[in-house]
Structure 1
Amino acid sequence: MTTRADTDTAKPREPKDWTTMGQVVSKDGTAIAFTRVGSGPALIIVDGAMCYRAFGPSKALADALAEHFTVYTYDRRGRGESGAGTAPYDVEREVEDIAALIEEAGGSAHLFGMSSGGTLVAEAAHRGVNAERIAIYESPMIVDGTRAPMDPDLPARVERAIGEGRRGEAIKLFMRYVGTPGLFIAVMPLMPMWTKLKAVAHTLPNDFALTGELQGGTLPPADRWSGAEAPALVIAGGKSPEYLRNAQRHLASALPQGELTVLPGQTHMVKPRATVPVLVDFFRRPAGRTR
């Protein structure tokens, strides 16, 4: 594995407001673009569906966390300035991307993933990346009858729409599934965000491949994340739908060192003001202390 960055990596670490941008090359040769900001222990943020450095919550989170950590944000493969890799998609390639970023960070790091990015973090820890601690915000799972399971045909319909050049329709199918209000979906094409969403619509099948088996309305196998031995914090929003809160409770119990935190008044939309204090407390917690 090689690393390319626009700064001399041997240069001493600058103050916490110093920001660099660069690339790591993943195991399969795919270039993964990243931004680094702050100082302190390394923390890698993993985005959810259709989000990347130029769109979504990761930049605001990184800025708020930079006082305490050296924060890495990156474009998941196929998004933003990162390469797409070769087809077919395999979650193992995304795990290798995280491993490459961890190597860039010095060989170990904390991980924080949001939504499907949280599922990817659990998967990466399970498959053995060198994560010191992991935190997950609302991995999108359906583990009981509090919500109908995902239509098994949905991923194929989204992929077909993308293959036929109907990226907007693919986005709408996804938004309807996650519960976005119909009126908002109708006006989305008029919003500035629409162009950015369409630019990454082709990565939606990747997120379905990552999370689809976990949205069938039944509990995953008991050993699904048994290899994720790092201390783990699972975060749920107190105002999120019941099925999401129940899923996080299950995930916290399934992770070998998992614990659950519910943030009162929060939803699936990650807000730094509510999330950052919890992350700082967890990632800075002395080894061996559980709370």
Structure 2
Amino acid sequence: MDITISADGSRIAYEPVGSGPAVILIGGAFNDRAALAGLAHALAAGGHRAIAYDRRGRGDSTDNAVRFDPAREIEDLAALIEAAGGRASLFGHSSGGVLAIAAALHGLPVTTLMVSEPPYAVDGARPIPPRGVSARIEALAAKDDRDGAAALFLQEQALIPAEAVSRMRDSPIWAAMTALAHSLPYDLAVCGPDLALSDDLHDIGIPTLAVSGDRTQPWLTVAAKAVATAVPGARHISIPGEDHGILRRPENLAPILTDFLRPNAH
């Protein structure tokens, strides 16, 4: 594990694997760098220096911020890119994809942009989250009610049925999810209250790939396709048999990313 220091002094933990052009991997809600380790090793085998990191406040990363501001997470990525040599490709999953897009729009030295199922609400494909849900989740996290924060996020933000959330609560994965539930306000902040697609995507001038699984929630496919449509020259790829849990199956994702990262692939 290595550490880089963000602009506000927060310590951002990261783990580089392999050698070659740098690719920084950004997880979504309930993800720390361990969730991206399999993908990192698969990309390293394809000739890349893959960097999985703990978003601020998660795992071994600290958080000196006084409020949940996406600008701090963009500063974290700036520090990671500098530590990686000054330029890097970005891959982001779910809210990590929204963060990757925000970093590219902010003008960070990103060479290639790849996102998996960024959770935008596009063309009425899903309802906008209820007003005040972000504040309610943040309040639960502030009280360290991680169980409540995780359940509320899953049901009202991610549209997971209550029965499915109940099954999650009874499964071994729940402890890992609640361990990171205090950081959910960052996922909410970067995505915005309306999950709105940025109006500035046409300003992205780097090779861009959006992927989605053909077994995911339909609204996530609509969102991925919308990104590919809005960014000039971008591509969308549907991954057979996959859903939003694709990080658990890096063997199905890594070859697509590796192909896209090849010189002259686009």
TM-score, length of structure 2 as denominator length = 0.92
Is the aligned partner of 1:222 residue 2:202? no
Q: Which runs of 5+ in 2 are unaligned?
A: none
Tell me, yes or no, if structure 1 residue 260 matches structure 2 residue 236.
yes
> What residue in structure 2 maps to residue 133 of structure 1?
112
Structure 1 length as normaliser, TM-score?
Answer: 0.84
Q: CA deviation at 1:186?
A: 2.1
Aligned residue in 2 for 1:48: 28
The residue that corresponds to 1:117 in the other structure is 96
Residue of structure 2 in register with 1:66 after alignment: 44
1:158 is matched with which residue?
Answer: 137
Determine whether 1:24 maps to 2:13.
Answer: no
Matches within 5 A, 1:238-257: 238-257=214-233
- Give the secondary structure class of the aligned counterpart of 1:66: helix
Worse-superposed segment, 239-248 or 119-128 = 239-248
Q: Does 1:193 align with 2:176?
A: no
After the TM superposition, which segments of 4 or more aligned residues of structure 1 sit over 4 Å from their partners?
none
Q: Which letter does structure 2 place at the counterpart of 1:24? A: T
More displaced, 225-234 or 66-75? 225-234
Q: Deviations over 1:174-222 (max 9, x none)?
A: 1223233434422434444333322221111111111134526xxx453
CA shift for structure 1 position 69:
0.6
Corresponding residue of 1:274: 252
The structural deviation recorded for 1:32 is 0.2
Q: Give distance in 2, aligned partners of 1:116 and 1:261.
A: 18
Alpha-carbon distance between aligned partners in 2 of 1:114 and 1:199, rounded to the nearest angstrom? 19
Q: Which has the higher helix share?
A: 2
Closer, same or farther in 2 for the Cα pair 1:252/1:162, shift >3 Å? same
| 2:150 pairs with 1:171 | yes
Asked if the contact 2:23/2:91 (under 8 Å) is kept, the reply is yes
Percent identity of equivalent pairs: 37
Query: Could you tell me how far 1:48 is from its partner in structure 2?
Result: 0.4
Q: For residue 42 of structure 1, what is the amino acid of its counterpart?
A: A
Deviation at 1:237, TM superposition (A): 1.2
Distance 2:55 2:91 in 1: 14
Determine whether 1:37 maps to 2:13: no
1:85 alignment counterpart: 64
